[in-house]
Amino acid sequence: MIGNPPVWWVKGEHAGVKVDLTVDQRGPAFHHCGRFEDLGEVGSAGYIVHARVTGTVEHNGKVLKIAEGHGLHERIIHAGLVPQRIDFMLGRGLNWIHGWGKEFTWYVISGEIGPSSSAMVNIDNELSVVSGADMAWVEETGFWFRPKNKPDEPT
C-alpha cells in the first residue's frame, strides 16, 4: 500500500493474485479514537476514512474490474498500554456499521455496554459527527447464529 492521503494505492502481486487499486478518500477522516498529533505516551488515536475504489484484481488469468467500488481505511494506534478489550467489549461487543451511496457515506460504532458510541455522516465532503450513548446507538432487535458446519457440508 502506498499512501499519500487523500489517495492510497494498493499494488502488487502475491500468491498468484495481482492487485492494482486506487483508493480515493471521500471526505474528512472521522477520528473516532482521537488525533495522532494529540497522542501522548499513553492513549489511543485513530480514524475511519470512506473511499471510492477503482482498479483491477487478477487471478488465474481472469481480470476483475472495479469501478465506483466502496472502500474503508481504518488506522488505530495504542501508545503505552493497549486497552483490555474486555473493558469495552462487554455484553455482545461492539457494532461497526458502514453505509455508502453516490452522494454520502455514514458510520456508526456502538457498544451494548459501555461509554463508547458515535456516528458520522459525510455529505459533499462535510463531516457531521455525534457522540455519546444518548446520541448514537445501534439497537439489536435480533441476530442470526450460524452453527459450525460438519466437515462434509459446504460452507
The pLDDT value recorded for residue 83 is: 64
pLDDT digits (tens, 9 = 90+) for 17-26: 999 999 999 9
Instruction: Please report, for the chain, the start and end positions of each structural domain, with discontinuous segments joined by +.
Output: 1-77, 84-141
Distances (CA, A) of 121 to 26, 47, 71, 107, 129: 11, 14, 16, 7, 7
The neighbouring-strand residues paired with 58 are 18, 63
Closest CA to 31 of 129, 103, 133: 129
Cell 469495552 identifies what position? Answer: 88
Q: Residue 115: what pLDDT?
A: 54
> pLDDT for 44-79, tens place per residue?
888 999 999 999 999 999 999 999 899 998 888 888
Query: How many Å apart are CA 116 and CA 27, to the nearest integer?
Result: 23
The most confident of 82-86, 99-103, 113-117, 144-148, by mean pLDDT? 99-103
Pairwise CA distance, residues 96 & 69, whole Å: 19
Residue 152's pLDDT band, with cuts at 50, 70 and 90, is low
Q: What is the pLDDT of residue 58?
A: 97
Q: For all residues of the chain together, what is the average pLDDT?
A: 83
pTM over 0.85: no
Give 83's Cβ-side CA count (13 Å radius). Answer: 13
The more confidently predicted of residues 114 and 73 is 73
State the pLDDT at residue 17.
Answer: 96
Alpha helices in 67-127 (DSSP H): 85-88
Burial label for 51, CB within 10 Å (0-12, 13-18, 19+), is buried
